[in-house]
Structure 1
Amino acid sequence: MQGANMLLDEPVRLTSVLTPVKPKVFPSLTKIVGTLGPNSHSVEVIQECLTAGMAVARFDFSWMDATYHQETLNNLRKAAQNVNKLCPVMLDTLGPEIQVHNSTGGPIELKAGNHVTITPDISKAPSSEILPIKFGDLAKAVKKGDTLFIGQYLFTGSETTSSWLEVVETSGENVECLVTNTATLAGPMFTLHVSKAHVSLPTLSDYDKEVISTWGLHNSVDIISLSHTRSAEDVRELRSFLQSHDLQDTQIYAKVENTEGLDHFDEILQEADGVIISRGDLGIDLPPEDAESVYNQLVHFKKLVKHVGDPMPHEESVASSAVRTAMKVKAAAIVVFTFSGRAARLVAKYKPPMPVLAVVFPREGSDPTKWRSYGTTQARQCFAARGVYPLMASTEEAETGGLTREEYGIKLAQNYGRSVGMLKPFDRLIIFQKIGDSSVVKIIECDSS
């Protein structure tokens, strides 16, 4: 046993001792999704966000119009080009969200102990006594004693900017509520959240479909965040819609934001490309003493891999072996060769403690423009995965240099790793790739130069 452990020790070479090297830089494995809003609209600010570590740019279509978001996206592309970084675009849908539009624009004071009526009659001006909403079936969805939450869009969570309402009675389409805490609602739009009740609004609204089929299609968005996902059928519906609009390469991240989504979490996980746990909205539905344990359960490693099945599929087995090997030999990074990005995501799933360098080759085809664009999309999507840093490879450069794809990919990964301070001479790398029908894992050392 002792001899086996000795084989894993770092080799000591005279050249490695005498050659001065720069301190290694360990990149962040956790990725940051940044919402681009009014304060992060310019090229300069977006560039600062990318430099600071923003990995995914989120565009929230529950506010502002497509023209504004297009300007922001154009600025994002300029900023990404300036800092030479890939950044996937995430389109966030509106979903079955009940909104109160403050047509007056002034603040609305809600006093504890007072009553307020929620009505679908949008012709009435919002006030401390009446709040109009664009949803006519709220009275059917709630009953006496139910809890409603109303607050500013992108609310701070402060007790003075959001209010809890208790349903007193329903009368026709109106819902009379008791205000349980004093708050000032300020801003053009408020969100009304119905706790633990089914709202008969479609998860993929007509507005969402219009945005996806126009803005999303025009910009070939990388990821769609499906707000308020309640079942696997919601994901399947969106997938079918994307395929019918030539967006089959777009990934779907399901946002679990209520107890209904929690009840169907396992089936949602099977259908979606990723899952977003909305702690803010879930915190409204869950008791405080249960919230933390539920969050931990949802993101726990065993919760995710139990769906792998038994026996473990070939790809899963090799991916997990690559991670175990990297940990045993203390590798500095794992290099994955991929076309679709799936292999890199499989490796990232096992949460290796070192970065994953995904060498993405464009998929070959009769139309060079299309297959190169296809590879770029997959590379950007990889950047959203934990610890994955995609590198766009060029088949032409490999052929021009007289290198095989493997040789070129390894050289590309080493050059990138050294340029950012991630790798130093004689570091070990794990190579994970497919050769024909076989998946191969091997260990190499970085060049001394």
Structure 2
Amino acid sequence: MVSNYLLLEEPLRMSSILEPSTTPHFFPAMTKIMGTLGLNSRSVEVISGCLNAGMSVARFDFSWGDQNFHQETLENLKVSIKNTKKLCAVMLDTGGPELLIVNKTERPISLSEGSLVTLTPDQDKEATPDLLPINFNGLSKAVRKGDDIFIGQYLFTGRETTSVWLEVSEVKDENVVCMIKNSATLSGALYTLHISRIHIDLPTLTNKDKEVISTWGVQNKIDFLSLSYTRCADDVRQAREFLSKVGNNLNRTQIFAKIENVEGLIRLDEILEEADGVILARGNLGIDLPPEKVFLYQKEAIYKCNVAGKPAVITRVVDSMTDNLRPTRAEATDVANAVLDGCDAILLGAETLRGSNPVETISTVGKICAEAEKVYNHDLYFKKIFKDAAEPPLAHLESLASSAVRAAIKVSASVIICFTSSGRAARLIAKYKPTMPVLSVFIPKLKTNQLRWTFSGGFEARQSLIVRGIFPILADPRKPLELMSAINEPALRVALDYGRASGFIKQHDRVVVFQKVGDASVVKIVELED
């Protein structure tokens, strides 16, 4: 089923469109923004700017850079979090079975239209205009004469001057001879290679990925694992099994299936059952799919995530901002349409990793998201999701969560305050995409491993930073028993003070409170007088 959400039924008036954009100073948008850190975005100053601009998840891409480089960047992130007092989650993005052109010299390679170039698995050979070494020795068995092969700059695939289309002319032993279909210059060390709808017989979690996870991932207790080139549910199961084996630190790490080819799209339903969320990697998907089909698959994939109540993340939205201060008209519209489709988060890659204006990019994307959210037809969305999610009948907790959203909309509440320890209740509320923020107060639980006592809460709070509409608050761990009692004044006051400071709660506002009390759940409407 493809979503067909409309804008608000009330016609938009030109006067409101021409008014200056106004957004609260703390919540730039309900839709979350993820930034890839590195190169131009790894200093404390720049990362602090990104956090203040609205970045809530920092992505560390291990397709390039060594562990020391990423560790230094992460240490700067920790300092920035302390300085800005902003929560930020950490995502480790695996390399996966990515086909790469190996250019050890990093000298530019000029390819001319109509010429022949040979792709070879011999990585000891030097890359030239006539010979391109690749990191896969099974290419000759996977392709046939007439197949199209695409080569594009990493994190910038599709840019005409740095990408090239090849057509397979001949297979010679392990080598593949191709005709060049357009002139281009390959510059830099890392170029990806794509063959549409061809199965690549490589493990989704490579040995290099396992090494990074078991060292860097364990050391830093990563919040999310982005599983590149997820092709089936078993990929996610194997990754989860590996996480549980490498140490207790990663038992609760959430796995996001990164869908990058047709194989993953075809098996999206089974993948959704296993994964904690989905990343639609549109750079690679846009090559694997006919261009006219991309929007259709995006809408359907996001809708399936919405029904399942699992975050949907969209990539490759403002490529031009890698070099420019403003996005193109098409890119701005694309961001807004992703929000209207129901995505939870926007993932920025090259725009923040090596872009000239990472802070401005995050700020601009946040403003576009906020504007789109103002005209999002929440009522129609609620009815659609409730209808599809109610077959079979809703579970008790989700039924009450949806009721809390409906009540908040009916009484025009300024926020929904949810008390939770695991974050599940807050995610169920966010599934119905209320018009107002969900202030999720994470109640700490005291835990022990027989050697020391620790409080839970921080990990779960960070993992909610990828869900549209949820803004986590960490309750005071020094008063766990007091906070765990029924909707009590001290706990509620923490949330209300936070909401007032953010500008979302004002005098005489109504607030909907959702909390589990023992085995029961309570939805309460509070009208503020003072």
TM-score by length of 1: 0.90
Q: Are 1:445 and 2:527 matched, yes or no? A: yes
Q: Are 1:418 and 2:418 matched, yes or no? A: no
User: What are the within-5 Å matches in structure 2 for residues 245-264 of structure 1?
Assistant: 245=246, 246=248, 247-264=250-267
In 1, the alpha carbon distance for the partners of 2:90 and 2:110 equals 38
Q: Are 1:383 and 2:386 matched, yes or no? A: no
Deviation at 1:395, TM superposition (A): 3.9
Q: Are 1:326 and 2:408 matched, yes or no? A: yes
In 2, the alpha carbon distance for the partners of 1:220 and 1:334 equals 30
In 1, the alpha carbon distance for the partners of 2:466 and 2:272 equals 17
- Contact 2:152 2:193 (C-alpha < 8 Å) held by counterparts: yes
Deviation at 1:139, TM superposition (A): 1.0
**1:151 corresponds to which residue?**
152
Structure 2: 5+ residue runs without aligned partners?
Answer: 1-22, 309-384
- Contact 1:395 1:405 (C-alpha < 8 Å) held by counterparts: no
Q: Are 1:273 and 2:276 matched, yes or no? A: yes
Deviation at 1:100, TM superposition (A): 1.3
- Contact 1:80 1:86 (C-alpha < 8 Å) held by counterparts: yes
**1:178 corresponds to which residue?**
179
Of the two structures, which has the highest relative contact order with CA contacts closer than 8 Å and spacing of 6 or more? Answer: 2
Change (3 A) 1:126 1:221: same
Match of 2:418 among 336, 355, 364: 336
Return the letter of the residue paired with 2:72: E
Deviation at 1:160, TM superposition (A): 0.9
Return the letter of the residue paired with 2:252: D
Change (3 A) 1:292 1:71: same
Change (3 A) 1:239 1:401: closer
1:311-355: CA deviation from partner (whole Å, max 9, x where unpaired): 211122111111111111111111111111111111111111111
Deviation at 1:397, TM superposition (A): 3.8
Return the letter of the residue paired with 1:226: L
Secondary structure class of the residue paired with 2:71: helix
Structure 1: 5+ residue runs without aligned partners?
Answer: 1-22
Report the number of matched residues.
Answer: 425
**1:289 corresponds to which residue?**
292
- Contact 2:152 2:159 (C-alpha < 8 Å) held by counterparts: no
- Contact 1:196 1:259 (C-alpha < 8 Å) held by counterparts: yes
Deviation at 1:369, TM superposition (A): 6.1
Secondary structure class of the residue paired with 2:145: coil
In 2, the alpha carbon distance for the partners of 1:277 and 1:400 equals 42
In 2, the alpha carbon distance for the partners of 1:152 and 1:438 equals 54
In 2, the alpha carbon distance for the partners of 1:140 and 1:154 equals 27
Deviation at 1:371, TM superposition (A): 3.7
Deviation at 1:407, TM superposition (A): 2.7
- Contact 1:145 1:167 (C-alpha < 8 Å) held by counterparts: yes
Secondary structure class of the residue paired with 2:211: helix
Deviation at 1:307, TM superposition (A): 6.5
Return the letter of the residue paired with 2:228: S
Change (3 A) 1:111 1:135: same
User: What are the within-5 Å matches in structure 2 for residues 339-354 of structure 1?
Assistant: 339-354=421-436
**1:138 corresponds to which residue?**
139
Select between 152-161 and 217-226 the one with higher mean Cα deviation: 152-161
Deviation at 1:399, TM superposition (A): 6.0
In 1, the alpha carbon distance for the partners of 2:209 and 2:79 equals 27
**1:118 corresponds to which residue?**
119
**1:229 corresponds to which residue?**
230
**2:103 corresponds to which residue?**
102
Select between 270-279 and 311-320 the one with higher mean Cα deviation: 311-320
**2:81 corresponds to which residue?**
80
Return the letter of the residue paired with 2:403: S
TM-score by length of 2: 0.77
In 2, the alpha carbon distance for the partners of 1:176 and 1:309 equals 53
Deviation at 1:401, TM superposition (A): 9.9
In 2, the alpha carbon distance for the partners of 1:269 and 1:39 equals 34
1:204-230: CA deviation from partner (whole Å, max 9, x where unpaired): 111111100000000000000001110
In 1, the alpha carbon distance for the partners of 2:422 and 2:104 equals 47
In 2, the alpha carbon distance for the partners of 1:168 and 1:360 equals 60
Change (3 A) 1:218 1:162: same
In 1, the alpha carbon distance for the partners of 2:136 and 2:458 equals 41
In 2, the alpha carbon distance for the partners of 1:328 and 1:371 equals 41
Larger Rg: 1
Secondary structure class of the residue paired with 1:39: coil
1:219-268: CA deviation from partner (whole Å, max 9, x where unpaired): 00000000111001000011111111221110011111100000000111
Q: Are 1:298 and 2:276 matched, yes or no? A: no
- Contact 1:414 1:446 (C-alpha < 8 Å) held by counterparts: no
In 2, the alpha carbon distance for the partners of 1:308 and 1:144 equals 50
**1:7 corresponds to which residue?**
none
Percent of aligned pairs with the same amino acid: 53
In 2, the alpha carbon distance for the partners of 1:311 and 1:161 equals 52
- Contact 1:398 1:408 (C-alpha < 8 Å) held by counterparts: no
Pairwise CA RMSD = 2.0
In 1, the alpha carbon distance for the partners of 2:124 and 2:421 equals 54
Return the letter of the residue paired with 1:163: V
1:78-137: CA deviation from partner (whole Å, max 9, x where unpaired): 001111011000000000101112112110011111111110011110011111012110
1:156-182: CA deviation from partner (whole Å, max 9, x where unpaired): 632110011111121211111111111
- Contact 1:24 1:424 (C-alpha < 8 Å) held by counterparts: no
Secondary structure class of the residue paired with 2:393: coil
Q: Are 1:93 and 2:131 matched, yes or no? A: no
In 2, the alpha carbon distance for the partners of 1:230 and 1:56 equals 24
**1:188 corresponds to which residue?**
189
In 1, the alpha carbon distance for the partners of 2:497 and 2:179 equals 64
In 1, the alpha carbon distance for the partners of 2:483 and 2:251 equals 34
Return the letter of the residue paired with 1:327: I
Change (3 A) 1:308 1:64: farther
